[in-house]
C-alpha cells in the first residue's frame, strides 16, 4: 500500500495555488503541475514547511498532448498513487472573437478540453485501484451562462460540465466521485482585485469571490462527493433564476449589465500602466 496523493494541474497561481493549500491543510500529499518558471518551487517549499506533507512538483506545459503522457509517466516512475485528480489548468479571458487568432483558440481548446480528458483517461486505472477516489474538473459559471466575449472559453467549460456529469454516472460503481466546480469571477490578479473594489455593477460585485474562499468550498464539497459545485450564495441564486426565467428576460438583463459595465469603463479608465520609456 503506498501513500495517496492528489494531483493538481495549474497549481502555481490563482485558484490552483489555493486548491493546493486547501488540500495541504487536510494533510493530503500533493503532486503539483504547472508551467516552467511559474514559481512552483517556492510554493512546494512553503507547503512542505508549513503543513508537513510530501509535495512533488512537475514543471510541464500541459497544452502539449505528449506532455500529458510524460506527466503520467513521471508520476508512475515515482511510484506515487493518485487518489484525487483536480483538473484546474486552463486559459481564459474576455475578448471579441476576432481579437485572437485561430492558433490561440486551438491552444485553448487543447488545454481546457483535451488535457483534462486525457488525464482522466490516463489516471483512471490508478483511481480505480485507490478507490474511494475523486476527480474534480474546474469549469466556470461561464460554462452555464453564455456571456458575450467568452465564446470559446464558455464552450470549453460547458464541455467539462457535460463530460463530468456523464463520467460521474459511469464511475459511480467504482467508488470514484466525479465533481465539477463552477466558480464565478475571482480576484486572481491584482488589477481585478482593485477594479472590483472601485467599479463593477452590484451583481458583478456579489458574484466575485476570493480564490481562497472558493478553494475551501471546492475541496470540502469534493470530499462530500457533490456533483455540481457552485460557489457563493448569489451565484446559486443567479443559477436558480436562470432556470426560472424565460430566455427573453435573461438576455435583457445580461445586455443591460454589459452596457452598464461598458459605460463605467469609459467613465473610469482602468489603471493600466502605460510605460513611458526610460531615457537610456
Partner 1 sequence: MKIFITGATGYIGHRLMLAAVSKGHTVHALVRNSSSTQIILHQNISFFKGDITEYNSVLAAMEDCDAVMHAAGITQLWHPDRTVFYRVNVGGTKNILEAACFHNVKKFVFTSTCGVLGPSFKYPISEEDPRITPFENDYEISKHCAEELVKEYSRRGLFAVIVALPRVYGPGPLTDGNPVSKFIGDTIKRKIGFIPDAKQVVGNYAFIDDVIEGHFLALQKGMGGEKYNLGGENHSYEELFDNIRKASDKKIHVVTVPKFLFKIASEFVYAISLITRRHTHFTPKIVDRLYQDRAVSCEKAVRQLGYRITPFENGIQQTIQFLKSKNYV
Does the footprint of partner 1 cover residue 194 (CB under 8 A)? yes
Does the footprint of partner 1 cover residue 275 (CB under 8 A)? yes
Q: 56: which strand partners?
A: 31
Judged by beta carbon, residue 191 or residue 259, the one nearer partner 1 is: 191
Judged by beta carbon, residue 212 or residue 228, the one nearer partner 1 is: 212
Does the footprint of partner 1 cover residue 253 (CB under 8 A)? no
Among the listed residues 17, 150, 157, 168, the single contact to partner 1 using CB under 8 A: 17
Beta carbon of residue 276, minimum distance to partner 1 (angstroms, whole number)? 5
Does the footprint of partner 1 cover residue 271 (CB under 8 A)? yes
Binding mask 38-77 for partner 1 (x = CB under 8 A): ----xx--x--xx---------------------------
Of 14-22, 73-81, 107-115, 137-145, the window that binds partner 1 (rule: CB under 8 A) is 14-22
Sequence-distant contacts of 192-199: CB under 8 A, at least 24 apart: 194/271, 195/270, 198/268, 199/264, 199/265, 199/268
Of 135-143, 162-170, 189-197, 235-243, the window that binds partner 1 (rule: CB under 8 A) is 189-197
Q: Could you list the residues that contact partner 1 (CB under 8 A)?
A: 17-18, 21, 42-43, 46, 49-50, 190-191, 193-194, 197-198, 210, 212-213, 271, 273, 275-280
Amino acid at each position: 500500500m503506498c501513500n495517496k496523493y492528489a494531483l493538481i494541474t495549474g497549481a502555481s497561481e490563482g485558484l490552483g495555488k489555493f486548491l493546493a493549500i486547501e488540500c495541504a491543510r487536510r494533510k493530503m500529499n500533493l503532486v503539483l503541475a504547472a508551467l516552467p518558471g511559474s514559481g512552483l518551487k517556492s510554493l512546494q517549499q512553503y507547503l512542505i514547511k508549513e503543513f508537513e506533507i510530501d509535495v512533488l512538483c512537475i514543471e510541464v506545459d500541459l497544452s502539449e498532448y505528449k506532455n500529458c503522457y510524460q506527466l503520467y509517466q513521471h508520476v508512475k516512475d515515482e511510484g506515487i498513487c493518485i487518489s484525487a485528480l483536480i483538473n484546474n489548468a486552463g486559459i481564459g479571458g474576455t475578448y471579441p472573437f476576432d481579437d485572437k487568432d485561430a492558433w490561440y483558440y486551438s491552444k485553448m481548446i487543447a488545454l481546457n478540453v483535451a488535457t483534462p480528458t486525457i488525464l482522466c483517461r490516463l489516471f483512471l486505472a490508478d483511481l480505480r485501484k485507490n478507490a474511494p477516489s475523486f476527480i474534480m474538473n474546474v469549469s466556470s459559471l461561464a460554462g452555464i451562462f453564455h456571456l458575450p466575449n467568452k465564446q470559446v472559453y464558455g464552450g470549453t467549460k460547458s464541455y467539462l460540465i457535460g463530460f463530468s456529469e456523464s463520467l460521474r454516472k459511469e464511475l459511480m460503481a467504482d467508488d470514484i466521485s466525479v465533481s465539477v466546480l463552477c466558480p464565478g469571477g475571482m480576484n486572481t490578479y491584482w488589477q481585478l482585485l482593485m477594479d472590483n473594489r472601485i467599479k463593477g455593477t452590484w451583481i458583478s460585485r456579489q458574484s466575485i469571490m476570493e480564490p481562497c474562499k472558493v478553494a475551501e468550498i471546492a475541496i470540502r464539497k469534493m470530499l462530500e462527493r457533490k456533483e455540481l459545485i457552485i460557489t457563493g450564495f448569489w451565484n446559486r441564486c443567479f443559477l436558480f433564476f436562470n432556470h426560472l426565467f424565460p430566455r427573453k428576460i435573461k438576455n435583457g438583463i445580461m445586455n443591460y449589465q454589459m452596457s452598464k459595465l461598458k459605460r463605467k469603463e469609459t467613465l473610469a479608465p482602468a489603471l493600466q500602466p502605460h510605460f513611458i520609456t526610460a531615457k537610456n
